[in-house]
Amino acid sequence: MGEPHRVGIVGAGWISGAYLETLRDHPRVTIAAVADLDAARAESVAAGIVGCRAVGVDELLRDDAVETVLNLTVPAAHASVALGAISHGKQVYGEKPLAADMPAARSLIDRAAAAEVRVGCAPDTVLGTGVQTARAAVDTGLIGRPLSAVAVMATAGHERWHHNPDFYYLPGGGPLLDMGPYYISALVHLLGPIVSVTGAASRLRPSRVIGSGARAGEQIPVLTDTHVTGVLHHANGALSTITTSFDAVRTTAAPIEVHGEAGTLAVPDPNHFTGDVRLFELGGSDWQTLEPSAGYLTATRGIGLLDMLSAPASAAGSTSVPRASGSLALHVLDAMTSLLQSAEEGRRLELTTTTDRPDPVPLTTAETWQTAT
């Protein structure tokens, strides 16, 4: 396998713990450094990793000991941190969304291409057995020609559990930009790229009350839409309907359903790696649960970074596109920001990007993906 790949983490908040579950003791990587605006938090994380140093953000981005930057900052900082890493010749794998807006995201992708470094982006949950088994069912014709899909994410809002939920309700936040990447990435895996969107949106109330932690009872302003719905027009002719809400209480709808001429698939929550994929065939009498047939088994957050590092070299010497790629994340951001613009302007909008449908993930055991080259 050679020497472990050296990763530097920028952002030592809650989500870093989920990534470290996968990466801390992984044989293919070593966590060389951690940086955070809160130096004490960076030091606390680094102390739990053998050989890891707590450093400043700028120092980490310049550090020759770091080959790839894992960008776990808040969405507003995604682009600036990624651009700083790219300017020093480093690869970047970041949390979703790719950036807070399309101009910043395009600049990031263009700069990475010019520097010949790869960009990967969450979510990587769609590489697990849930979405990948559903994709295999679509690809093998179990539902016949796919016609449409319905995606639903409904929750009463993150301020009920998050101690510092402010950024969820600022521009660049909201239910679509926060949770939409899981659902739209899954829909691209299932049905392919999107060509146009039609959206509608609303905002239930102008403020929210933090429900837990040291700031419990504090009111925060709501400066973005908190209920977004729309139609995604896929290049293959299929139509997806998506609803994301921080205003609803709960739903009994499947996270995603895919309808075809010969059957319907119920797809598990794309915010998780696993879950039952259920099929109802035309003429059938009940749902049947499909055995996992594709995807990374026992995966946790960070598998997308490992997948990016495992991308093989092509004949031309460059590397292949990772499944959780920057180009996919750019397309997903284009779909989301276009939905919001469509809602504001009251018209259908054509997307300005496209992407290849990511390669499917064969059924892959933990031992295989932990040692893949």
Q: Per residue in 29-60, pLDDT tens?
A: 999 999 999 999 999 999 999 999 999 999 99
Q: Are residues 133 and 261 in the same domain?
A: yes
Question: Is the domain of 108 the same as that of 179?
Answer: no
Report residue 369's pLDDT band, with 50, 70 and 90 as the boundaries.
low
Q: What is the mean pLDDT of residues 272-286?
A: 97
Give the position of tokens 């400043």. 56
- Same domain for 222 and 136, yes or no, is yes
- CB count in 10 Å sphere of residue 86: 25
Residue 255 lies in a domain: yes
333 found inside a domain: no
β-sheet with 146-154: strand ranges across: 288-290, 277-281, 263-267, 256-260, 146-154, 239-245, 227-234, 194-202, 349-350
Q: Are residues 215 and 254 in the same domain?
A: yes
Residue 367: per-residue pLDDT: 59
Same domain, yes or no: 173 and 227: yes
Query: Among 8-12, 61-65, 70-74, 361-365, whose mean pLDDT is lowest?
Result: 361-365
Q: Cis omega before residue 4 (within 30°)?
A: no
Could you tell me if 148 and 239 lie in one domain?
yes
Q: Would you say residue 372 has pLDDT above 80?
A: no
300 within a domain of the structure (yes/no): no
Percent pLDDT > 90 in the chain is 90
Residue 31 and residue 133 in one domain: no
On whether residue 318 sits in a domain, the answer given is: no
Query: Looking at 239, 267, 290, which one is the last position of a domain?
Result: 290
Same domain flag for 166 and 33: no
Is 320 inside a domain boundary?
no
Q: How many CB atoms lie within 10 A of CB 269?
A: 18
User: Is 348 within a domain?
Assistant: no
Q: Which of 67, 91, 121 is the last residue before a domain boundary?
A: 121
Tell me: the pLDDT tens digits for 57-80? 999 999 999 999 999 998 889 999
Minimum mean pLDDT range among 150-164, 231-245, 276-290, 307-321: 307-321
Residue 318 predicted with pLDDT over 70: no
**Is residue 181 domain-shared with residue 209, that is, in the same domain?**
yes
* Residues 148 and 255 both lie in one domain: yes
Query: Contact at 8 Å (CB) between 335 and 242?
Result: no
- Residues 59, 163 share a domain: no
CATH code for position 54: 3.40.50.720
In the chain, the number of structural domains is 2
CATH assignment of the domain containing 278: 3.30.360.10
Confidence class for position 314, pLDDT limits 50, 70, 90: very low
277 and 154 share a domain?
Answer: yes
Please tell me which residue, 172 or 224, carries the higher pLDDT value: 224
Of 55, 90, 121, the residue at which a domain comes to its end is 121
- Which domain range does residue 102 map to? 5-121
